[in-house]
Amino acid sequence: MTSFILHCDLDCFYASVEVRDNPDYKGLPVIVGSDPKGGTGRGVVSTCNYEARIFGLHSGMPISLAYRNCPHGIYLRPSRDKYNVASKQVMKIISSYSEIFQKVGLDEAYLDVSSVCRDWKDVKILAEKIQKDVFQKIGITISIGCATTKSLAKIASDFNKPHGITIFTQFNFKDMIKDLDITRVPGIGKKSKVHYHNNGIKQIKDILNLSLPRMRDLFGKHGFWAWKVVNGLDKRRVREKTSGRKSMSQERTFNEDTGDSVIIMEKFREINEKLHKSFIKHNLTCKTITLKIRFEGFITYTRSNTLLYPIQDKLKVLEEILKLYEEFKDKKEKVRLLGIKLSNLEKTRNSIQTSIINFAHT
C-alpha cells in the first residue's frame, strides 16, 4: 500500500501574521526579530517575508546586517502570543483531516493521509482543501509537499513557495529532486556539505548515482541516511498527536556583552521564571536540565545534567543551572547569551510540584 504523507509549512509565518493584521504592510519588506537600532542592534532575524528576501535577508541573519541591506524595511518585535494563537488555529484545521498528525514547531506539521486518500488525485484535492481552509479561516498561506515519505514531503513543501503544492509520486520524485543542492536533504547543512563537496557530491543526483555501500564507505551512518532519503526509503512514521512535547527552552541575548556576575545571575532567574510559567501551565516535569552560554565572538557551550527523578521545581532547576555555570564563571570572555532548556519531559496528572525536600527523599 502506498503511503501518502503531507508536510504542511506555513509561509514566512511570523511575518505573514503581521501582514494579515496590518494590511498596510502588504507588498513591503517585513522583518520580525530584534530591534535593529539603526544598524547597531544585536540579535537576529526570526523571519521575514519574500519582499525582504529580495534584499538578501533570511532567518538567522544578524539584525544589524539585515538593516544595512534593507534599511527601509518594516522591523517588528515578535508577538509570540499572537503567533501561538494563529498556530493553534492552523494546527486544529490540519489535524482535522487525519488522525495521524505530527506538529513540528509552530509553523510545520506532518499528516499521514494514507487511509483518507485513494490516489495522488485525492491527495492533491485534500491539499487544496487544507490551503483554502487555512487561508479563509486564518488569513495566511501555507505550502504543502506530498510524497511517500516524511523526508521527501519536506523537500517537496519547499519546492513551490509561497502557497504552493508539490507532489512527489513514487514514479517522478527522483527526476524532480536530482538537480537540487544536497543541502535540501534533511540533515545535510552548511558544515556537513563541505565533506560531501570534497568527495565530488554537490547535487542530489550525485548521491543517486552512488551505491549504498559506497555512500557508507564515504560518509558512514550519515551517508546511509542521505542515501535512504533520496531513494525514498525513509521509513519514519508520522507520530500521532498524542506524542507530546520533547523539550522547552528560553534564551536571551544581552544588549551588551557582560562579565558582571550580578547581571548574569539576574538573567538566569529571569529566564528560569519565564520558562517555568509555561512549564507549570502545561503541567510538565523534566529530568534533563541544559545550560547554554555564548561568549563574545559567538563561542557557544552547552552543558547538561540528567536527574534521577523528574521534577517540577524551579528552584531546583536554578540550582542545577548554577552548578553547570560554575565551569564558566571565571572565564575572561564576556557573556553574550544565556539559555535554559528542560527536556525528558513527562506529563504529570496533577500540578503538585516536587519540592527540594521531596526530591532529596525520593
Asked if 273 is an active-site residue, the reply is no
Roughly what angle, to the nearest 10 degrees, separates helices 80-95 and 13-21? 100
Q: Please name the amino acid found at residue 320.
A: E
User: Residue with C-alpha cell 527536556?
Assistant: 343
Please identify, in words, the CATH class of the domain defined by 14-79. Answer: alpha beta
pLDDT of residue 8: 98
Own/partner long-range contacts of 300-305 (Cβ < 8 Å, ≥24 apart): 300/337, 301/328, 303/327
CB 165 within 8 A of CB 144: yes
Q: Would 14-79 and 245-350 be classified into the same CATH topology?
A: no
Sign of the C-alpha dihedral, residues 341, 347, 353, 354? negative
pLDDT of residue 245: 63
* Dist CA 283 CA 158 (whole Å): 35
Q: What's the CATH code, domain 245-350? A: 3.30.1490.100
Q: What's the distance, CA 135 to chain centroid?
A: 22
Can you give the residue ranges of every domain in the chain? 14-79, 181-235, 245-350
Q: Which of 108, 270, 320, 346 is catalytic?
A: 108
What is the 8-class DSSP label of residue 313? -
Rg (CA), the chain: 23
Length of the chain: 362
Please identify, in words, the CATH class of the domain defined by 181-235. Answer: mainly alpha
What DSSP assignment string belongs to 203-226? BHHHHHTS-HHHHHHHHHHHHHHH
Q: Which of 149, 307, 324 is nearest to 233 (CA)?
A: 149
pLDDT of residue 89: 97
pLDDT of residue 213: 94
Roughly what angle, to the nearest 10 degrees, separates helices 80-95 and 120-138? 150
Provide CB contacts within 8 A for 121, sequence distance 6+.
none
Rounded average pLDDT per 10-residue block, the chain, 362 residues: 93 97 97 94 94 95 96 96 96 89 94 88 93 97 97 96 96 96 90 91 96 93 93 88 66 86 94 88 89 85 92 92 94 91 78 39 40
Give the predicted TM-score (pTM) of the model: 0.71
pLDDT of residue 244: 54
